Structure 1
């Protein structure tokens, strides 16, 4: 029972990280899956397989190397200078994710209240910096608890999207194909979606895996997380597909469908989306500032302020446009990380390792 609880905790934590960065708003699912029509659902299935594989690999490698940070595992996987490139990729992508989180928060405020997006961006920027500066860990713990609520709301929203459909199958397909797409082909889009999410989730999964009590727990936790994520993606993608004609101009489709189902569900979904975005924003901002101030902890607050200011400026470009440009771009770059993960997976074969300290220290691995 204890082992299952630990597996479930790793899986839920992984889903929580990806929910904020990858699909809380619904816009990501629309552009990477629903926009390809019925074949986009095949992309969801393929992405689920990739998520399951790479989440298990990262968690297992983290446990194998007993990594204190993602840098330790990256160096052990790729050595120098490749690890420098991968570390820089992850660090820059953290800032890009922060830009999109601030833009998502501003879009949420604008869609709910009609207030100009700049005020929503200022709100989430100020809250994120305040939490990071004050170290309000209890608040972050509370925010993390919204993940089960998000799962429940996705199920409810999906169950209300299908009844009362008036469009024919052909009309739904035509409407879906008119939605903004992140790529020219569903297969490439599904790979890119996994790629940028793996870049975002790699540091977290590595650390979670290193703290697991056994390699079996680390591997199964990652696998379960990938499967759960895939099921949620499928529910949302199918819901957006059947309502494609209604969500074409909507920045946050998840919120739209929730409001369509019930004002109460809409309010809860707005809270969950904001909390998920804030959770990811705070975690990314904290990691970004910690990485920049690694050699001088006294620079942590200035680094977080600079990161937040840069992200605020970038967020004003618009939520939908940012997702359409930034995520595919880093998805292509993230393919490099995916190749290295597969290389390390077959080279070190963590599924065969025994014990808790299963290899040499990372700086001596290569």
Structure 2
């Protein structure tokens, strides 16, 4: 029973690391899936399989190497100058997504709460730094609460949208052209590669800390299924509210505004919580890589958050549209090396 609960916690950390501002807001899902039409549902199946397979591989390698950061895995996969280059690229990508998460919080405060963008960024910075005081245990506990709540809200959003269309108070998705070319599948691969590579900073040391392959395997499978189901639910809701939802940096928050008033507010709180959980994972991965002592880790976290907070004012939509696609291409190269490397994992 204890192992099953630990597997669920692993799944929640996996989901919480992937589901950040871009995913939970709907902006990222539109860019990589929904814009191609209903074929998005098929490409989500491909991504779900990638999440299960490569998520487990990352955690299992972390367990095998007794890793404390993703740099331990890089030292195993790469040699010489290439290892240093890969380290630098992953650190830059993690920092870039941290900037995006803070920009997402600012957009949420501005669009939905009609408060200052900077106030949203500052709130996320303070909440993340406080949680860093508790290390990996803080990450596990935060995701064990936030992720199940977000899953419930995502499925409620899809059900509410379907029910409105079914009863005539909403509308079904508008007809859209179906794209079947290579771009659809390439986009899905880029999405999967980016999120798996960016999750390495959390999944590798998580595997090293837990060490039980059966627990990690179940956690990877549960996490992947949860992510795939959420991708389908968010995609359906977006299809139903296009093109109006695209006018907002946070399309899912716009959709939630069609709910009962208190549910709309609760959704905003959950969305903030999910952005916050991804922030914790990213900052933990960055700080754990460079720090030697706990004190250095906390000081490094604060400096990173301040710099990222300043850069977040470039805007959320711009960061997701351009930076995430670039990160996807780099991640695809990293994932290919992970897949092709001749490392035989122990049987789980």
- What's the TM-score once normalised by structure 2's chain length? 0.88
Give 1:193 shift.
Answer: 1.0
Pair 1:224–1:137, CA change in 2 (3 A): closer
- Contact in 2 for aligned 1:17/1:201 (Cα 8 Å): yes
Aligned residues of 2:193 and 2:335 also touching (Cα < 8 A): yes
Q: Call closer, same or farther: CA 1:156–1:332 in 2, change over 3 Å.
A: same
2:183 is the alignment partner of 1:188: no
The answer on whether the counterparts of 1:106 and 1:121 sit within 8 Å (CA) in structure 2 is yes
Separation of aligned partners in 2, 1:277 and 1:46: 25
Corresponding position of 1:50: 50
Query: Relative to structure 2, which stretch is displaced further, 71-80 or 321-330?
Result: 71-80
Q: 1:140 to 1:72 in 2, by over 3 A?
A: closer
Secondary structure of 2:257's aligned partner: helix
* Cα RMSD for the two superposed structures: 2.7
Pick the aligned partner of 2:176 from 151, 173, 176.
Answer: 173
Match of 2:311 among 300, 307, 314: 314
Structure 2 match to 1:246: 244
Aligned counterparts, 1:118-133, within 5 A: 118-132=118-132
Deviation at 1:338, TM superposition (A): 0.2
**Alignment gaps of 5+ in structure 1:** 178-183, 354-366
Q: Is 245-254 or 297-306 further displaced after alignment?
A: 297-306
Structure 2 residue aligned with 1:222, among 181, 200, 220?
A: 220
Q: Distance in 1 between matches of 2:250 and 2:321?
A: 14
CA-CA distance at 1:106 after TM superposition = 0.4
Cα contact 1:59–1:210 (8 A) shared by 2: yes
Q: Specify whether residues 207 and 286 from structure 1 end up closer, same or farther in structure 2 by C-alpha distance, changes over 3 A only.
A: closer
Report the Cα offset of residue 223 of structure 1. Answer: 2.3
Whole-angstrom distance in 1 between the partners of 2:325 and 2:206: 26
Q: How do 1:9-28 residues align onto structure 2 when only pairs under 5 Å count?
A: 9-20=9-20, 23-28=23-28
| Aligned equivalents of 1:137, 1:192: Cα separation in 2 | 28
TM-score (norm 1): 0.84
Q: What is the deviation of 1:336?
A: 2.0
Provide the secondary structure at the position in 2 that maps to 1:349. Answer: coil
In the TM superposition, residue 285 of structure 1 has moved relative to its aligned partner by 2.4
- Structure 2 residue corresponding to 1:284, chosen from 268, 282, 285: 282
Cα 1:238–1:111 change in 2 (3 A) is same
| Residue 318 of structure 1, CA deviation | 1.0
Match of 1:209 in 2: 207
User: Secondary structure in 2 aligned to 1:157?
Assistant: helix
Q: How does 1:279-358 map to 2 (within 5 A)?
A: 279-294=277-292, 299-344=296-341, 347-352=342-347
Structure 2 unmatched ranges of 5 or more: none
Check conservation: 2:71, 2:289, Cα contact below 8 A: no
Change (3 A) 1:136 1:188: closer
